[in-house]
Amino acid sequence: MSAARPPLCLEPGSKSWPEELDSIQGRPERLWFAGRHELIERRPRIAIVGSRSPTPYGEAQARRFALALSESGACIVSGLARGVDHAAHRAALDAGGATIAVLGSGVDKPWPTGPLTDEMATRGLLVSEFLPGQGPRPHHFPLRNRVISGLCVGVVVIEAAHASGSLITARWAADQGRSVWALPGRVDHPMSRGSHRLIREGAGLVESPDEIVRELFGGEGQGQSTAAGPPPGLSSEAGRIAVLLQGETLTADDICERAGLELQPVLAALVELEVADCVVRAPGGFYRLSG
Amino acid sequence: MSAARPPLCLEPGSKSWPEELDSIQGRPERLWFAGRHELIERRPRIAIVGSRSPTPYGEAQARRFALALSESGACIVSGLARGVDHAAHRAALDAGGATIAVLGSGVDKPWPTGPLTDEMATRGLLVSEFLPGQGPRPHHFPLRNRVISGLCVGVVVIEAAHASGSLITARWAADQGRSVWALPGRVDHPMSRGSHRLIREGAGLVESPDEIVRELFGGEGQGQSTAAGPPPGLSSEAGRIAVLLQGETLTADDICERAGLELQPVLAALVELEVADCVVRAPGGFYRLSG
């Protein structure tokens, strides 16, 4: 493996040291960098992690999220492992974006080796708290995971088995006050188990990278749920009530009176309008048009 | 269509009237029953609802949940529609279980017609608040949905488009204080959109019917997450710490001292043990073995 420049070593307090790590439990005493050192300045950083043996769905989603987040300007952080990590680094490089691999070995001994690793050492950035020359050791990986999450504003878990390294990263992230997003999947595949566990424990369910982009940059993205006019297929009662509510805030009883309808069909139509994002319920039993 | 017996009509307060409906907004003034009237006494009742055009995954999951919940003794309630409703009734009948279809038309005019409908009228139970002789009308269906949820302890949503009837049923269920469970799926299919929306809004993410059986009956089911001994594949530090914690409640510092390890590997191993469900964190920074 040929790094373009000799490894750089930074300590807390030095210029370019990632200050996000100063607040985490077990702050690294120093970090080594190989590759494009300047990438450590790129923010926001988002981690994309997941299984070493993803399904084709998981691999495609890792690429999709890394590509879209890279294109929105985020730096993609992962662990250089096979599977989801690999797909995330690869997509970020392909998008011409910034990407960082945090290693469980010295930056001159990245693992696994291969074309992606060589490219990460020249077009991306390798980061490690372990001394140059150190090989990978099993207990390094859970420690390495706290640096992945610590560097980032949040962690996206794509696919993860029930008890796996990605869940360790997510746990560190939660402890460090970082966002945790998990991608759901089919319940009949074990690779969904870990993501679903995270969602039950409070992680954000994420369907699209736009949701993360909106959260980070406050932009609009191409999300699906921007409420427009009433969708087609509403019942005639719902249509009438939507017209009645223009510029008004009314109770169900008010609506019955104005529309000359009974309470039950009015309640049914209001639920229908709520589910279609046309109507919102305000405190005190009032209804108004949304948006 | 030939019902085995003439329709039965019940009013609130009469024997066999499902009292669960007394507490809901818009209680039906009466209900008609066709088929095996005695099935209205079977409890607990669980609704399984979802798309009229499910994916093969959704249809298989509807069958799986209906079969397992039937076999555990629950009565399966749905809306007789194509797709998920159909699969749920079918599986309950095949299991020899109790199943109820709540209609948007009179019990003598069930819709859609077909072999399942004929069988539901003899081996299952058809229920409606609409007068015999009334055909289905669009505004009946959102109303009918409040009876589906109102009859049940909870509603399982299998697959649902972003704004759909199943979401209306789920909204009624939440308003009525019933449980709402939603099955996740692939983010690249629109049929997952509604279930994921429900999970974001607070519905329980459900992967297996056992989870519902445990919630209803307090039984064990065949769930996957019953913690046993430490799983294989733990780091050597984690294994040592698991031994140290037998019969003890210790802080990370205590563990460092007793194990002769530094804080970072101990923290890493503790996170590893937590994710593997071997260790739980107690208030005050203490750790103990789980279970």
Q: In percent, how much of chain B has pLDDT > 90?
A: 69
Decide if pLDDT at B2 tops 80. no
Which range has the worst mean pLDDT, A94-98, B32-36, B51-55, B251-255? B251-255
Say what the pLDDT of residue A219 is.
58
Q: Which residues of B touch A275 (CB under 8 A)?
A: 163-164, 167-168, 171
Residue B229 has pLDDT above 90, yes or no: no
Which residues on chain B are in Cβ contact (under 8 Å) with A263? Answer: 26
Size of interface A-B (CB pairs under 8 A): 140
> Integer distance in angstroms from the first to the last C-alpha of chain B?
56
Q: Is the pLDDT of residue B223 over 60?
A: no
Instruction: Report the percent of chain B where pLDDT is more than 70.
Output: 94
Residues 6+ apart with CB under 8 A from B34: B3, B5, B7, B8, B107, B108, B121, B125, B126
C-alpha–C-alpha distance, residues B258 and B91, integer Å: 57
Q: Which two tokens stand for residue A20?
A: 């996000």
- Cα separation, B59 vs B82, in Å, equals 10
What is the phi/psi pair of residue A114, to 5°? 145, 180
Q: How many CB atoms lie within 10 A of CB B134?
A: 17
What is the pLDDT at residue B198? 96
> Are residues A272 and B199, on separate chains, in Cβ contact within 8 Å?
no
Distance of residue A233 Cα from the nearest chain B Cα, in angstroms: 10
| Contacts for B276 with CB less than 8 Å, ≥ 6 apart | A163, B230, B231, B234, B238
For residue A190, what is the enclosing H or E element? none
- Is pLDDT at B224 greater than 50 in this prediction? no
Interface touch A139/B199, C-beta < 8 Å = no
For residue A63, what are the CA distances in angstroms to A86, B18, B147, B235?
9, 52, 44, 30
Helical H runs in chain B?
56-71, 84-94, 115-120, 140-151, 165-175, 193-200, 209-217, 236-244, 252-259, 263-275
What pLDDT was estimated at residue B222?
Answer: 42
Are the Cβ atoms of B186 and A185 closer than 8 angstroms?
A: yes
Any idea which residue has 């974001």 for tokens?
A: B200
Question: Does residue B202 have a pLDDT over 90?
Answer: yes
C-alpha–C-alpha distance, residues A10 and B10, integer Å: 79
Q: Which of A224, A264, A275 sits opposite B26 (nearest CB)?
A: A264
- What does the pLDDT read at residue A226? 40
pLDDT at A3: 44
Pairwise CA distance, residues B208 & B187, whole Å: 19
pLDDT of residue B225: 41
Nearest to A269 among B142, B171, B275 (CB): B142
Residues in B 5-24 with any Cβ partner in A closer than 8 A: none
| A181 contacts A47 by C-beta, under 8 angstroms | no
Going residue by residue through chain A (291 aa), what tens digit of pLDDT does each one get? 444 578 999 999 999 999 999 999 889 999 999 999 999 999 999 999 999 999 999 999 999 999 999 999 999 999 999 999 999 999 999 999 999 999 999 999 999 999 999 999 999 999 999 999 999 988 899 899 999 999 999 999 999 988 789 999 999 999 999 999 999 999 999 999 999 999 999 999 999 999 999 998 885 444 444 444 556 677 888 888 988 898 888 999 889 988 888 888 888 888 888 888 899 888 778 899 987
A185 CB within 8 Å of a chain B CB: yes
Phi, psi angles (nearest 5°) of residue B207 = -105, -25
Tokens of A202: 């409070």
> What is the pLDDT, as a whole number, of residue B15?
93
Q: In whole angstroms, what is the distance from residue B79 CA to residue B50 CA?
A: 9
Position A243 scores a pLDDT of 86
Given this model, what pLDDT does residue A223 score?
Answer: 40
Beta strand pairing call for A179-182 and A204-205: parallel
Give pLDDT, residue B226: 40
Higher pLDDT pick, A58 / B285: A58
Enumerate the H helices of chain A as residue ranges.
Answer: 56-71, 84-94, 115-120, 140-151, 165-175, 193-200, 209-217, 236-244, 252-259, 263-275
- Determine the pLDDT at residue A230: 58
- Shortest Cα distance from B2 to chain A (angstroms)? 30
Contact B235 A139 (CB under 8 A): yes
Q: How would you class A135 by CB atoms within 10 Å of its CB: exposed for 0-12, middle for 13-18, buried for 19 or more? A: exposed
Residue closest to A47 by CA, chosen among A85, A10, A91: A85
CA nearest neighbour of A151 among A120, A182, A172, A121: A172
Give the mean pLDDT of chain B: 91
Nearest to A265 among B139, B204, B205 (CB): B139
Separation in Å, CA A151 to CA A10, A124, B38: 14, 16, 62
The dihedrals phi and psi of A33, each to the nearest 5 degrees, come to -130, 135
Paired tokens of A269: 């139509």
Rounding to the nearest 10 degrees, give the CA dihedral for residues A171, A172, A178, A180.
Answer: -30
Region B236-249 average pLDDT: 88
Which among A102, A142, A100, A106 is positioned nearest to A120, based on CA atoms? Answer: A100
Of B185, B186, B271, the CB nearest to A142: B271
B59 pLDDT above the threshold of 80: yes
Provide the ipTM: 0.84
Q: Cβ contacts (< 8 Å) between A187 and chain B: which residues?
A: 61, 183-185, 206-208
Joined together, the tokens standing for residue B16 give 């066999």
Tell me the whole-structure pTM to 2 decimals. 0.85
Q: Which two tokens stand for residue B249?
A: 């409640």
Using the Cβ of B269 and the Cβ atoms of chain A, whether some distance falls under 8 Å is answered with: yes
Q: What is the pLDDT of residue B41?
A: 96
Residue scoring higher pLDDT (B29 or B263)? B29
- Both tokens assigned to B15: 């024997």
Predicted local distance difference test score (pLDDT) of residue B4: 54
